[in-house]
Amino acid sequence: MTFHAFTNFGWADADHGLWRFPEIVPPRTGSELDFWIELARTAERGRFDSLFLADAVGMGGFTDDDLRAEIHDGRMLLWDPATLIPVLAHETEHLGFVFTNSILQDHPFTFARRASTLDHLSDGRVGWNIVTSYSPNAARNFGLDELPPREERYRWAQEYVDAAYALWEGSWEEAALVRDVATGAFIDPDRVHTVDYSSPRYRIQGPHLTAPTRQRTPLLLQAGGSPAGRDFAARNAEVQFLASGTDEKIAADIAAVRDLAVRSGRRPDDIRFVISTGFVVGSTDEEARRKADELEAKADREGAVAYMSQEIGIDLHALDPDTPVEELRGMVSTGGMSGVLEAMIERMPKSANPTVRDLMSNGITRDATVGSPERLADQIERWLELGVDGLAVGIAIRPGSLTDFVDHVIPILQERGIAQREYAPGSFRQKMMGYGDRLPDRHPGARYRRG
């Protein structure tokens, strides 16, 4: 099973108000590199596969009050995660680095160049979390009046990744970089090509300005849970992130995407499935529950509800609090993440006929597994039996939540043969997927190769 330390390059992470928790050691500026270096080293000490850096390029839910709430609780303070990778790669040896980049925020030519640069500087340890964004504010930050409908955003995403594939896979032949002192040729001009990519949104002549990296294309990760998102993942993703839910929902989601992957000409095991969830670790179940209660007491409720509204695309404050949560399924807006909403509804007790009021009062640890190291290891083992390949371990308290997991849960998982004791050789892709440093021939990105 693979393990990924899940956080963002920001002040407050996504756990609203927890910067007030007495054990937290928050970096007050992005330049406090010692903090981030130690976090990465802790993940590597636990033999984690990657540090996953979430990101957003827009804030605010549906009202000015939502935006004020997210400013108030500190969540809106975010630095560019890509800039952190070279430093952390220099300070670690094996740890992979996943950075989030939306199709809204960069032209694919610029993005492909940046990703290749990061992959060079890390010697093949970079992954791209492909997102289409869900915030209307994000759309307006990049010149759009509104966020396009979900299906249209995924059509856009396919154009975007195809453009990147053309640059990464099709511009340079393997032996193009010759450095021939006798002839004076640093690069063989006959082995570097324009890509002449054309789609409704992009025209890119090329060539790519960066030589092929160890991976060429960074490891591809994606988290969409809607039908359009699943279809995109089945064609392109090597790792798909799932929201934690019931065992039945998790197993069904995995089976559905694997089936779509086969229909797309790929193999069922060409996609690894990673659950994104938090953990609260205590020496006993009782101690863990007390720690979870302390986290809840420090939570910023207004910030959490504003974030939840934006995430699922529904203005929760505008609804009658007694509205059954089941009715929310038909209300998800253009930008909302229907998969996240489904996971939230699935986790609520059906016998209680839950309402919007219940959803809004759900604690920030609602997604977390709470208990002793043995209890957490038991749950992780059950997920493994469902077909889950890995975990994105949320870090509510930085660095304490990660340190607790590394020091107390990982050793038990290693004893059970679930977590690795040593790193395998190779690039991030090889470590994660086992089929080599490069995309396999059956991946759609491979069709752009030449020479």
The Cα 334–Cα 357 span in angstroms is 23
| Prediction pTM value | 0.89
pLDDT in tens, the chain (451 residues): 999 999 999 866 555 666 666 665 555 555 689 989 999 999 999 999 999 999 989 876 667 777 777 777 666 778 999 999 999 999 999 999 999 999 999 999 999 999 999 999 999 999 999 999 888 888 999 999 988 998 999 999 999 999 999 999 999 999 999 999 999 999 999 999 999 999 999 999 999 999 999 999 999 999 988 889 999 999 999 999 998 778 888 999 999 999 999 999 999 999 999 998 989 999 999 999 998 888 877 766 666 677 777 777 777 777 887 888 877 876 765 556 666 777 677 767 665 778 877 776 665 566 688 999 999 999 999 999 999 999 999 988 888 899 999 999 999 999 999 999 999 999 999 999 999 999 999 999 999 998 5
3-state secondary structure string across the chain: CEEEEEEECECCCCCCCHHHCCCCCCCCCCCCHHHHHHHHHHHHHCCCCEEEEECCCCCCCCCHHHHHHHHHCCCCCECCHHHHHHHHHHHCCCCEEEEEEECCCCCHHHHHHHHHHHHHHCCCCEEEEEECCCCHHHHHHCCCCCCCCHHHHHHHHHHHHHHHHHHHHHCECCCCEEEECCCCEEECHHHECCCCEECCCCEECCCCCCCCCCCCCCEEEECCCCHHHHHHHHHHCCEEEEECCCHHHHHHHHHHHHHHHHHCCCCHHHCEEEEEEEEEECCCHHHHHHHHHHHHHHCCHHHHHHHHHHHHCCCHHHCCCCCEHHHHHHCCCCCCCHHHHHHHHHHCCHHHCCEHHHHHHCCCCCCCEEECHHHHHHHHHHHHHHCCCEEEEECCCCCHHHHHHHHHHHHHHHHCCCCCCCCCCCCHHHHHHCCCCCCCCCCHHHHHCCC
163: amino acid identity, one letter? A
Write phi, then psi, for 183 (nearest 5 degrees). -95, -15
Q: How many residues does the chain have?
A: 451
Domain ranges of the chain: 2-296+367-448
CATH 3.20.20.30 fits 2-296+367-448, yes or no: yes
